Amino acid sequence: MARTNRHIRKATINRVLDSLRALRGLDRRAHFEAGGTPADWRGEHDVRPDRVKEGSRRACRVHRSDESGDQ
């Protein structure tokens, strides 16, 4: 099978990713050897919800009895 540009490009990308994974592993080892915790390694959760989407989702789940105020 002939080596196409797609195969060469994929091999190049895989080499780069392998080297990045190796460097990240070294960083991780150094972090824990220095007394770091898993929580520090993971970092903070920084995902913010889409307000419009969340508002629409909540609005469609409101029961009719809750809207009128009758309980």
Q: What is the mean predicted confidence (pLDDT) over 7-32? A: 95
Within a domain: 35: yes
Within a domain: 62: no
Within a domain: 26: yes
Q: What is the mean predicted confidence (pLDDT) over 41-46? A: 86
Is residue 40 within 8 A of residue 31, CB to CB? The reply is: yes
63: pLDDT strictly greater than 80:
no
Within a domain: 57: no
Number of Cα atoms under 13 Å in the Cβ half of residue 29: 6
Q: Which domain holds residue 23?
A: 1-42
Within a domain: 64: no
**Pair of tokens at residue 25:** 């592993």
pLDDT of residue 25: 96
64: pLDDT strictly greater than 70:
no
pTM (2 d.p.) = 0.52
- Rounded distance between C-alpha atoms, residue 20 and residue 3, angstroms: 25
Total domains in the chain come to 1
